[in-house]
Amino acid sequence: MRFEFWPWWAIFIPVLPMYFYSVLRTRKLLYFTTVNPSIPLAGFFGEHKDEILNVILSEYKPKTRSYKRGQVTHEAILKDFSFPLIAKPNVGERGYEVVLIRDDEVLKEYIKKDFDFIVQEFIDEPIELGVLYHRLPNSKTGYISSLTLKEYMTVRGDGSSTVYELLLKHPRHFLYAETLSARFPKRMHLIPERDLEYTVHRIGNHCLGTQFIDIGEKVTPNLVSTLDKIADAYEGFHYGRFDLKVTSYDALSKGEGLKIFEMNGISSEPGHMYDMPTVFHAYKTLYIHWNYILRISLQNIKKGVEPTPFTIFFKQVYRHFIT
């Protein structure tokens, strides 16, 4: 099985030697929490999406609101938004419970879930990207180390097979057939017309079958400059991935028309590694990125930034993964 389908730990465990090397260099077990001083745990896990998005310049983000579990009605949400809209947990990783909502019924079910959540206007732009950016604390200019196109899962109709049957016939998509059947049961029974490219869903998460494609050649100085401007407004941010949509590649090259719907910290993966020919290329990419994290940590520690205390770190681990 191709490595992009391996469990996350199989990809990341081989990177542990880089962690231990970095501990020796910094003499700090939690050195990585110094990378983004303005984000709890530097964005390793458990950060609140609304708090991060609040700092992003308004011209670069969609309309977003956060809601407490059990404290909002669907009527109240629809005073601020119209369908379709995106709902997602305020704290969550790897696409967990991200839903594109198009009607009252689904919205009413979503607000019953046992977590705080955010709602965003749906950005109906054709290109969705993951942009991994970092900037050394002593530098005025950053660097885009990964630019990844998120290609939504589609199937080509033959005029007689259902979407579910087409998924099973596909050399890649069959791995996601059961997951998508549980997530989108009504769509599985549709029969696309012959030669019609049917988009199964428009949620850009790898765990739902979206394919990540390396388009690093499309990085331009203008795009870097735009992200520098966004980072300037977010004091204490040095490393993370911007998930965004844009109208065209021409607009992207100019750094214009970007809409950032999520930003993640040091847990961010360089998405283009899933488009690499072998797992060893992916490991090399991860080592390179963890070296960026080390270099940022060394400079921040020298400036006096202290790692997250052990008591707080492990309390967060217990709260996030156990309770």
Return the amino acid letter for 246.
V
How far apart are the C-alpha atoms of 260 and 286, rounded to whole Å?
24
pLDDT of the residue at 95: 62
pLDDT of the residue at 93: 65
How far apart are the C-alpha atoms of 47 and 92, rounded to whole Å?
8
Is the pLDDT at 185 greater than 70, yes or no? yes
How far apart are the C-alpha atoms of 36 and 240, rounded to whole Å?
9
Which region among 84-93, 164-173, 191-200, 241-250 has the lowest average model confidence (pLDDT)?
84-93
Is the pLDDT at 298 greater than 70, yes or no? yes
Which region among 27-41, 95-109, 204-218 has the lowest average model confidence (pLDDT)?
95-109
Domain 63-122 CATH superfamily = ATP-grasp fold, A domain (3.30.1490.20)
With cut-offs at 50, 70 and 90, classify the pLDDT of residue 131: very high
pLDDT of the residue at 73: 86
In angstroms, what is the C-alpha Rg of the chain?
A: 20
Mean pLDDT for the chain overall: 90
Tell me the CATH number of domain 16-62+124-152+202-315, given options 3.30.470.20, 1.10.1740.10, 3.20.10.10, 3.40.50.150. Answer: 3.30.470.20
The conformation of residue 69, written as its DSSP 8-state character, comes to: T
pLDDT of the residue at 206: 81
Is the pLDDT at 310 greater than 80, yes or no? yes
**DSSP bridge pairs for 239:** 134
Question: Could you tell me which of 95, 213, 103, 193 has the C-alpha nearest to residue 152?
Answer: 213
Question: Could you tell me which of 198, 113, 110 has the C-alpha nearest to residue 153?
Answer: 198
The conformation of residue 262, written as its DSSP 8-state character, comes to: E
Assessment of whether the complete model's pTM goes beyond 0.85: yes
With cut-offs at 50, 70 and 90, classify the pLDDT of residue 191: very high
Cα 18 to Cα 13, 24, 29: the distances in Å are 10, 10, 12
Query: Buried (b) or exposed (e) across 304-314, using 16+ Cβ within 10 A?
Result: ebebbeeeebe
Tabulate helix, strand, coil % of the chain (nearest 5): 45, 20, 40
How far apart are the C-alpha atoms of 274 and 213, rounded to whole Å?
7
Domain locations in the chain as residue ranges: 16-62+124-152+202-315, 63-122, 154-201
Q: Which two tokens stand for residue 94?
A: 């790897």
pLDDT of the residue at 270: 93
How far apart are the C-alpha atoms of 272 and 282, rounded to whole Å?
9
Q: For tokens 């844009």, what's the residue?
A: 246
In terms of Cβ atoms closer than 10 Å to its own Cβ (0-12, 13-18, 19+), residue 186 is exposed
Q: Which two tokens stand for residue 155?
A: 């199937």
